[in-house]
Structure formats: C-alpha cells, structure tokens
A = this chain, B = another copy of it.
C-alpha cells in the first residue's frame, strides 16, 4: 500500500535555553510525515498536553535523556490514527500517544493506547493520565494522607495542584492552596472546594500560612521548591510528609536557589519525611488510579479544569506562560479536531 504522506508541521528545540525560556528557543518547521513501517501507525494530533517537565528535559538528564537541539519537543497527545499498519489499531481509532509537538506522528502501534470515548476526550490528558496519576499517587502513596489532616499544595491552580486539592477534599482532608493571585485562590475555593488559599506574593508568607492553617500542615505537596518549600518546612506538624513532585520555581533559573534552610535540622526535630517520586514508577497501578478518578469525575466530586490554547504554533508560548503560572488547570493545545 502506498503511503500518501500528509504534510507535517512540528516544533523543535532551536537553541538550548539558559535562564528563562523564550520564543526564540523554538522553531516551527514543515516537513514530510515519516512513512510508517509494518506495525506502525500515523497519528494526527488533536490535543497536546503542555507540561512544566518539558522545561527540565531541556536542561539536562532527568528521569529521561536530555532533549537536544533539533529534537521535536516531547509531549503527550490525544490523536486519531489516520493510517494504520498495525492490525489491532485500525484507522479512525482515537488514541493516547506520545506524539510530541507535531501534527502527525508516526509511532509503533504498540506505543499508542485507544481511549474510551464515553468521557470528553480531553479528560484523557487533563485527569486520566500523568497529571491525575501524579496527584493520586503523590497524595495517597507518597503523602500517606489520612482523613482529617491538613494538606497544603503549591501551584494549586495548576494542572496537578487543582487535582491534588480536590483529591484531598474527597479523602476527607482540609486543603489549602498556595497560588499566584487572589483570583486563582477564589476559583479554588468556589469551584473546587478548597478550604482556603494563600497568595504566594503575601508580604509575610509565613504568617499568612499560619492564619490559613492554624493547626499546621500534615502533608505538603510541593510543586515549586525554592523559598516556598523553605517556608513550608516551618509550617509542618510533627511527623509531616513533604511530597516532592517538582520544583517549578527553579526550572527557569540559570543559578538555582540554595536549598531550603531547615534541611536537615527541621526534618530531625519535627521527624519530617521528604520524598521525591516520578509517576512512571506507579505504572503498574495506573488502572487503579484511573478507575478511582473516573468514578469521581462521573459522580461530579472531581471537576476537570482545562485551559485551552489554540493551534500548534501557540505551543511554545503556552509552555512559557505555564512556567510563569499563567494557566488555570490543565493547559492543552488544540492542534486539530
């Protein structure tokens, strides 16, 4: 069978960023779509997930190899199989795949996963995927949350934070979000059932936290690192758990902040546990997480907050803005539909 190649368009890393990420670090190029071999599928990207982690991949080796200049920016997508040379995934199937930032991705059929279209398909990126799994395993497994405890989450209006807060509420905890603006905080309280919020620009963050958490914090879900982590160490209760999920405050810095004072002193006196995790370590339990998340979506206790940006060419700006906290909820780029 001849392959009628659609015209592909993709976003590549044009220059390795040092300091703040900017438009000129990216380049959009038109190329031919890679022809599929036996077993491959060609996927047309519908929705692209924008994730802060992409910034860390540009920096150095993390839990994956460093992204090199010329590489397509990696990213998860919901896509439609438009050409199939893999029997089990016929053309027309809607799949979750790691397409990267491009219109057409040619991938092994074994690397794409058909998705259930009984929920709006964006939910397969905003909730029933990495973001939701990160919130679920971070809060319940790493954080070992118990009902009645107080949880604080930073970047609380972000994709992960807005889910962490809702899961904490569902689990019977008290939940306070740290956010970049009062508007975001109000949204968390009014729409997502947070018990309160603290604006990270407060003149005295420590005392604002004390007011919001008069009984201290038992679990801190840390998406930002830096000075907020240092302040939270002082707000933690005895035997508190700090879930180290990310350090978004540091991703764009040429010289990272020094580590938080209070490590290890406060860890000892308060018997604190800090633990980092990568969601992929829980891959064997993704079905468990999805079953729970799906149930909560269906019964309305979990609200998906999606922040839609239009067009592949907007993806670089969408990531740059995300790192500065311009999003509310999960940022998705609509590439086609």
Residues of chain A touching chain B, judged by Cβ–Cβ distance below 8 Å, are: 62-63, 222, 225, 229-230, 242, 244-247, 250, 256, 258-278, 281
A258-B259, A259-B260, A259-B262 known; A276-B281 Cβ under 8 A: no
Pairs A–B under 8 Å by Cβ, sample size 19: A62-B269, A222-B264, A225-B263, A225-B264, A244-B267, A246-B268, A247-B265, A256-B265, A258-B259, A258-B261, A259-B263, A263-B263, A264-B276, A266-B276, A268-B276, A269-B276, A269-B278, A272-B276, A274-B274
CB distance from A247 to the nearest CB of B (A): 5
Q: Please, which residues of chain B bring their CB within 8 A of the CB of A269?
A: 62-63, 276, 278
CB contacts (< 8 Å) of A244 on chain B: these are: 264, 267-268
B276 touches A271 (CB 8 A): yes
What CA separation (Å) do A272 and B256 show in the bound complex? 19
Expressed in whole angstroms, the minimum distance between the Cβ of A330 and any Cβ of chain B is: 20
Question: Do B264 and A261 touch (CB < 8 A)?
Answer: no
Closest 3 CB pairs of A and B: A259-B259, A267-B276, A258-B258
| Chain copies in the assembled complex | 2
- Smallest CB–CB gap between A164 and chain B, Å? 15
A202 to B145, CA, bound (A): 43
Cα of A168 to Cα of B82 in the assembled complex, Å: 58
Contact across chains for A267 and B271 when beta carbons are under 8 A apart? no
**Closest residue of B by beta carbon distance from A246:** B268
Q: How far is the CA of A246 from the CA of B281 in the complex (A)?
A: 30
Judge whether A270 and B263 touch: CB under 8 Å: no
B256 touches A261 (CB 8 A): yes
Q: In the complex, what distance in Å separates the CA atom of A37 from the CA atom of B113?
A: 78
Are B271's CB and A272's CB within 8 A? no
Residues of B within 8 A of A259 (CB): 230, 258-263
A274 touching B281 in the complex, CB below 8 Å, given contacts A230-B259, A259-B258, A259-B259: no
What is the distance, in angstroms, from A270's C-beta to the closest C-beta of chain B? 7
Find the B residue at minimum CB distance from A242: B264
Q: Are A250 and B265 in contact (CB under 8 A)?
A: yes
**CB-CB under 8 A for A275 and B267, given A230-B259, A258-B258:** yes
Which chain B residues border A263 with CB–CB below 8 Å?
A: 225, 229, 259-260, 263, 274
Assess the B265–A271 pair: CB atoms within 8 A. Answer: no
Q: Which B-chain residue is minimally distant from A270 (CB atoms)?
A: B276
Given contacts A225-B263, A271-B281, A273-B275, 5 further A-B contacts (CB under 8 A): A230-B259, A258-B261, A259-B260, A260-B263, A271-B276
